[in-house]
Amino acid sequence: MKPEIILTAQGHAGTMATLQSEFTCHKFFEAPDKKTFLEKHAGVRGLATFGPLSVDGKLMDALPKLEIISNFGVGVDAINLDDARSRGIIVTNTPDVLNDCVADTALALVLMTLRKFPQSEAYLRAGHWLSRGPYPLTTSAGGKTLGILGLGRIGEVIAKRALACGMKIRYHNRSKKEVAFPYDPDAVTLARNCDVLMVVTPGGPQTQGLISEKVLDALGPEGYLVNVARGSVVDEPVLLRYLKEKRIAGAGLDVYADEPRVPPEFFGLDNAVLLPHVGSATVETRKAMGDLQIENLRRHFAGQPVLTRVV
Ligand code: 8YV
């Protein structure tokens, strides 16, 4: 008998195929009536989560036999960890396997935002090079200071790449780390001391709205913001206003408050580079994430310890 699990969303083809060959999968996202679906599958012991669907105590209570929530992704902000903990439900994620890809995206956003590569490419495609002459000069990454807000596993890999581009590194974390980079005691100080503020913190209530007016004021009109973490970390309406009013120089964003809905006011801004949450979105990395998500489920149902437990 294959163990029964519920899938909250459609994963990529390879992960779906493996999940469906090893488990009896019930697709929550296809159910027209969620309440009836949950009543029908109330005996399920595993949940495979994908994306931003909120998994809270109410959902957990609808599945009283639930033992494990195996998330596809390192960020578990959509899952209420306290609710899982108090019910004795294991939560796993997919750390490390995506570090390189997310760091590539972060560095690409730094370069694209400072050097305006997407804008200059659009300039060429529109025929302006010939008619108007060279694209206006931009600003160099080399020599600038990258302030990393959240120097964790991904932050450290971003730092390596930025150093290779000749950038200097500073950081802020809740606690100081044993690293060679200068530490700032809070986000405002980090923003004041850097040229490019890189947001790599976890999402969730503790970091909600951390990038506020105060932080953006400290970053200032010559400063750039890059966010590869979660949209919730940034006060999005404030960011939009600061970009429009040129109170910061620019922003490179991979994440938004209400994905996939991006406020259309962003689309017309020349000082913003916007990616559709592609941080880890390569075939190789998504396969590695799916493999880890599945391995955690496999181990749990075989009575073995999971590999990457969060709760
Ligand atoms: C994925 C992510 O886009 O790992 C994360 O936390 O944000 C990304 O790698 C996401 O998990 C896809 O559902």
Nearest CA, atom 5, ligand 1: 73
Banded model confidence at residue 14, pLDDT cuts 50, 70, 90:
very high
Ordered DSSP codes for 94-109: --STTHHHHHHHHHHH
Q: Is the dihedral of CA 182, 188, 191, 192 positive or negative?
A: negative
Told to judge if 230 belongs to the known catalytic residues of this protein, a careful annotator would answer yes
**DSSP code of 51?**
T
Told to judge if 259 belongs to the known catalytic residues of this protein, a careful annotator would answer yes
- Evaluate: CB of 95 within 6 angstroms of ligand 1: no
pLDDT tens by residue, 28-85: 999 999 999 999 999 999 999 999 899 999 999 999 999 999 999 999 999 999 999 9
CB 134 within 8 A of CB 124: no
Give me the catalytic one of 161, 170, 230, 300: 230
- Evaluate: CB of 79 within 6 angstroms of ligand 1: no
The residue-averaged pLDDT of 279-304 equals 98
- Closest ligand 1 atom, CA of 71? 11
pLDDT tens by residue, 142-190: 999 999 999 999 999 999 999 999 999 999 999 999 999 999 999 999 9
Name the residue of 74, 254, 275 whose CB sits within 8 Å of the most ligand 1 atoms, as the mutation to test its pocket: 74
pLDDT of residue 202: 97
pLDDT of residue 181: 98
pLDDT of residue 311: 97
Q: Which one-letter amino acid corresponds to residue 266?
A: F
pLDDT of residue 72: 98
pLDDT tens by residue, 213-238: 999 999 999 999 999 999 999 999 99
pLDDT of residue 50: 96
- Evaluate: CB of 290 within 6 angstroms of ligand 1: no
In this structure, what is the dihedral angle of CA atoms 78, 82, 87, 88, given to the nearest 10 degrees? 90
pLDDT of residue 274: 98
* Pair of tokens at residue 31: 């159910």
Banded model confidence at residue 270, pLDDT cuts 50, 70, 90:
very high
Helix-then-strand count for the chain, H and E: 12, 11
pLDDT tens by residue, 89-137: 999 999 999 999 999 999 999 999 999 999 999 999 999 999 999 999 9
- Evaluate: CB of 98 within 6 angstroms of ligand 1: yes
Nearest CA, atom 6, ligand 1: 75
Rounded to two decimals, the pTM is: 0.97
- Evaluate: CB of 280 within 6 angstroms of ligand 1: yes
